[in-house]
Amino acid sequence: MKVILASASPRRLEILQKHGIDPILMPQDTDEHLPDGIDMHRAVETLATQKARACYNAVKGNDEYAGHVIIGSDTIVWKDEIMGKPADHDDAFRMLDKIRGTVHYVVTGVCLIDVSSGKETLLNDVTEVHCVDYSDEDIEDYISRAEPYDKAGSYAIQGYFGRYIDHISGDYENVVGLPYYRIEEALKPYK
């Protein structure tokens, strides 16, 4: 399959490889600033589109990439606000404190761009995540590790933090970073 992944996320790469896709990696530096008050769906769709379009602009017109599809993606955690990657220890603590014993949402936006035609397909997926009521000491123990600092919402469901997840409603791979089942049909023409 002719896929370009506009991301440096090892988790997105692993998901694609698990489904038999070995993409070309072309992460893009884009401005991830969002306007105040943007809703969770629009936020991830905007960021995914920016990444995919930056990659498209880098490869369009290059015959080497004709017939490829670009995947741009972005994931956020939503609990009354967008929770991106934590700025520091205090920010990580704040986020993990806010989601404990409650329900929050993990939202991933995906923008697919056909390199040959420039046609865009935009989608998002939402998974409801239920956390147990862990303690302040549990939070401190978790944020003493490296794991939370490059993750939306300060946690990785597939890592150590998974012990604090009671259950989810929705797609597990979406929480990890890429809702493959949502893009599977759109990728069929690129086989």
> How many separate domains does the chain show?
1
pLDDT at residue 180, as a whole number? 97
From the centroid of its chain, how far is CA 28? 14
Close Cβ partners of 10 (under 8 Å, ≥ 6 residues apart)? none
Q: What is the mean pLDDT of residues 124-128?
A: 97
Tell me the pLDDT tens digit for each residue of 28-43. 888 888 888 899 999 9
Alpha-helical (H) ranges within 77-134 are: 89-99
Q: Give me the CATH number covering residue 55.
A: 3.90.950.10
Is the pTM of the predicted complex or chain greater than 0.75?
A: yes
User: So which residues are the catalytic ones?
Assistant: 74
Q: Which domain holds residue 154?
A: 3-190
* CA atoms of 26 and 133, how far apart (whole Å): 39
Q: How far apart are CA 95 and CA 93, in angstroms?
A: 6
Residue with tokens 């890429």: 178
Pick from 137, 133, 161: nearest CA to 147: 161
pLDDT at 142: 97
